[in-house]
Structure 1
Amino acid sequence: MRRFTVTFAALAMALVATGAYASKNDDIDINRLTGSLDQLANDPTLGNYAQAEQARARDAINRLTQAKSRDRPHDLYLAERRVDLAKAAAQLQDAQVKSTQLDREHDQILLDNSRNEADIARRELERQRVQYQLAQEESARLQQQGEAASQAADQARAEADQAKKLAAAQSKVAGAARREAALAAQAAKAMRSQMQGGDSSSSDTPAPTTHKKPKKQPDDQQ
């Protein structure tokens, strides 16, 4: 009887120790899960995400604290998965927000690049327009210069033609004057020769002899 009592007492102490150990382990698991969830909730970035998942994880921890021994392993598994899911959901939402922000920044960069390219294109178009206008003005100036040069050349040719005509007319006048002078010289020479010839014939040639015809006798004297 005494042996049975000692055995029962030892068994009871073992059960108490086992229960105490199990209770201690349960407290460790609850504290671990609660601390992990609190760390997530207090995170300045992730704490704002996955609010529903965090609430479900906290409910799972509360059920774990009230679970019976036979249900505890299952409730512990559920609580751990709920906490992991809350962390994963918060990280996913944070990544999505960052991705959306990056997309917006990327879109803004593309928009800025597009605006910059459009501005560069407008400036290039304006530069080409100004360059084309300058080229047109330069072409017009050269054309005017060409027309002026052409007019000057035409005028020079006209003046040259007029000078040639004047020179030809002067040449004709000079030729006529030379011919007139030559004729005058010939006439003067002929006049001198005639005058000289008349003087020599009057001094050297004797006067011609006049022969008187005999008077005709009347018929009654014969």
Structure 2
Amino acid sequence: MKIVLIHGQNHKGSSYHIGRMIENKLPGEKEVTEFFLPRDLNHFCVGCYRCIEDESQCPFYGEKKKMMDKVEEADLLIFTTPTYCMRASAPMKSFLDLTFSYWMVHKPRKVMFQKNAVVVTTAAGSGMRHALKDISNALFFWGIPKIKTYGVGVQAMNWAGVSDQKKSQIEKRTDRIARSLQRNHHPKAGMKTKVFFLMMRKMQQGNRGASISEKNYWEKEGWLGKVRPWQS
């Protein structure tokens, strides 16, 4: 199994440790790649829309491609972020902004419709629900069919400060997540994903996309006809 972890911080805090716990509990041979934000992609989207016409024209293409090549190859994606001011971290949000061309409304990638993803966030207090939604929404629009989320208030500023009782609760929850991932190793697109994709298909057919290059992309993939990205 190929696993990519994308951490919304450079340090190895509570959300990092929980993400690694889930990965460690998955059996079998694994190829694990980790990225840390902002270390591995320290840029903001500048809204130039060059990626809509040609992905390689993004000002930060080289760094982004290094990450997204691994993301596209992976079977499982694990996103971790601390909760900052009730939301996902700024570096994580910047990363998601830089991948908006992957959304179903633009130029989705077929491989995304066959992946599992897990989103983990921690907070000293609250706000985890909003932080999880920031990331899981983007992953849905990428086309990922199965997204597990786990937000937990750890009442601590770092992993060392998390109580033994809380760590025991986290162990049990990560056990359940890992078992679920084993059972659903080959996820299938659900009705919500299919309906949204077909809405975007109709939009592209009606020339209501952001660029003619999008319609050309969809046509090349066969999606304006009978082919669907979730089909093997």
The structure whose residues are more often helix, as a share, is: 1
TM-score (ref. length: structure 2)? 0.19
Of structures 1 and 2, the one with the larger relative CO (CA 8 A, separation 6+) is 2
Q: For the pair shown, which has the larger CA radius of gyration, 1 or 2?
A: 1
The structure whose residues are more often strand, as a share, is: 2
TM-score (ref. length: structure 1)? 0.20
